Structure 1
């Protein structure tokens, strides 16, 4: 347990609970409830995860007011035509047991995604108060530029794979210059941070886990992280990263890691990858 609180980026807590591959309904609901009662205030899910109902149950079971929770979900690539965005978002709200979302993402710039059709639907949802912020996920700079040209509303965030083994420097610089928050999924490199010598050495020096080092590195670079965790121990360990402060030399050592691994690379991913 920690009393430390994550930085808040325009209303979005910079540490959240990811729920990708948390597919057992009871376990998912319990992990969400546990995280919220432990101090998390940012929960991330998606239509394709198949767990929005369980996430909603976890939120309802927690002794935390809905307005104190930053809740995000994502529209899947088969549902990005205008009417489908509106319809499936309503279904997501019903499953989550809420009447609004703090953030709604386009999950990938793929399949039925058409900036001129998809993005105006998200703007309509925002104008109607159904969502508070518009986001995208797995977008490269050229996709972001197009989206910002189409949108009248601000593009709030881009959720992508980022961790010490895939540092995304070009994308980080682009998003910083264009006022787009970056949210890191798979921030622990699907567990591979535990086998990295640099991260292990720094973790040993502080008496913490490599997971905490990775999350602190992301936080100190101004990024938001949403690590998946199901058990109480891992949920607590990730939260404890808020108490870890890395020195400039430690940040530089991590910045200099030259082992690059991308763990999420579907056939429909951007060609630039």
Structure 2
């Protein structure tokens, strides 16, 4: 599996998402994913499944150094003391002494972003996380993080798939040596019935989902975190690592709609906010 080097860590391009999975379903899914070959596991305090993920990790024979674990602090917990409490709870539930990547899950109006990131940096310096980052940050927020605060973020985790253009954010992060982690990478399953993707998949002996995932990983320093409870779908997604797309495939995918957003909660930032001068 190829990795992305970012801020001193190696982020596996193929990750395993756990959103909306809890209890034995989550535990079994993570155990299965590890057996398939996934080494990048993504969770969050808000998912309420860190204990389930932790139980699966604890039963694995893999060494800790072979695993990458990402978790996140929720947007209503961004005061320094609250961030520390969230980190402590996450580590307790995950049964780990550190995570590999700790993210601010969502930005929120009125947050003291410098203080929040200062706390994340402190947690990194204390060895509780190997790297820090953000999720769902817009271009102007990223400019504040990178150019004003100068926080050493390793990634921005964003919704990204064949139907949503994220070129401005991706290009900005690439210019600064920062990775993208793409969530919702198969557009909540809609890629499966897409005629363009089905035609490409047929030519390559692949599936539309594999084509969609491979396209994302071809966009530069981009990791993907599809979720799948069953082994068959996990194997399918993992198989995208061996798919090879050509220029014609990329040109065909470029014709697809590029303004579909599937994750847009009421507290989301202004997605199309322009870059700062």
Pick the TM interval, shorter chain. over 0.9
Are the aligned partners of 1:227 and 1:238 in contact in 2 as well (CA < 8 Å)?
A: yes
Are the aligned partners of 1:136 and 1:159 in contact in 2 as well (CA < 8 Å)?
A: yes
Are the aligned partners of 1:115 and 1:150 in contact in 2 as well (CA < 8 Å)?
A: no
Q: Distance in 2 between matches of 1:17 and 1:225?
A: 8
Where do 1:35-54 residues align within 5 Å? 35-54=33-52
Query: Alignment partner of 2:76: what SS?
Result: helix
Are the aligned partners of 1:18 and 1:227 in contact in 2 as well (CA < 8 Å)?
A: yes
Where do 1:101-112 residues align within 5 Å? 101-110=99-108
Look up the match of 1:119.
117
Look up the match of 1:61.
59
**Does 1:254 find its partner at 2:266?**
no
Query: Alignment partner of 1:85: what SS?
Result: helix
Are the aligned partners of 2:4 and 2:179 in contact in 1 as well (CA < 8 Å)?
A: no
Q: CA deviation at 1:259?
A: 4.8
Look up the match of 2:275.
none
Are the aligned partners of 1:199 and 1:254 in contact in 2 as well (CA < 8 Å)?
A: yes
RMSD: 1.4
Look up the match of 1:185.
183
Look up the match of 1:155.
153
Q: CA deviation at 1:258?
A: 2.5
Runs of at least 5 residues in structure 1 that lack an aligned partner in the other structure: none
Runs of at least 5 residues in structure 2 that lack an aligned partner in the other structure: 273-277
Greater CA drift, 160-169 or 6-15: 6-15
Where do 1:1-273 residues align within 5 Å? 5-10=1-6, 11-23=10-22, 25-110=23-108, 113-149=111-147, 151-222=149-220, 223-273=222-272
Query: Alignment partner of 2:157: what SS?
Result: strand
Q: Distance in 1 between matches of 2:65 and 2:206?
A: 33
Q: CA deviation at 1:204?
A: 1.4
Q: CA deviation at 1:238?
A: 0.5
Q: Deviation per CA, 1:120-145: give whole Å up to 9, x if none.
A: 11011011011111110000111111
Are the aligned partners of 1:78 and 1:112 in contact in 2 as well (CA < 8 Å)?
A: no
Q: Distance in 1 between matches of 2:173 and 2:255?
A: 21
Greater CA drift, 90-99 or 253-262: 253-262
Query: Alignment partner of 1:109: what SS?
Result: coil
Are the aligned partners of 2:164 and 2:260 in contact in 1 as well (CA < 8 Å)?
A: yes
Q: Distance in 2 between matches of 1:263 and 1:26?
A: 27
Q: CA deviation at 1:149?
A: 3.9
Are the aligned partners of 2:155 and 2:181 in contact in 1 as well (CA < 8 Å)?
A: yes
TM-score of the pair, normalised by structure 1: 0.94
Are the aligned partners of 1:79 and 1:112 in contact in 2 as well (CA < 8 Å)?
A: no
Are the aligned partners of 1:77 and 1:111 in contact in 2 as well (CA < 8 Å)?
A: no
Are the aligned partners of 1:162 and 1:184 in contact in 2 as well (CA < 8 Å)?
A: yes
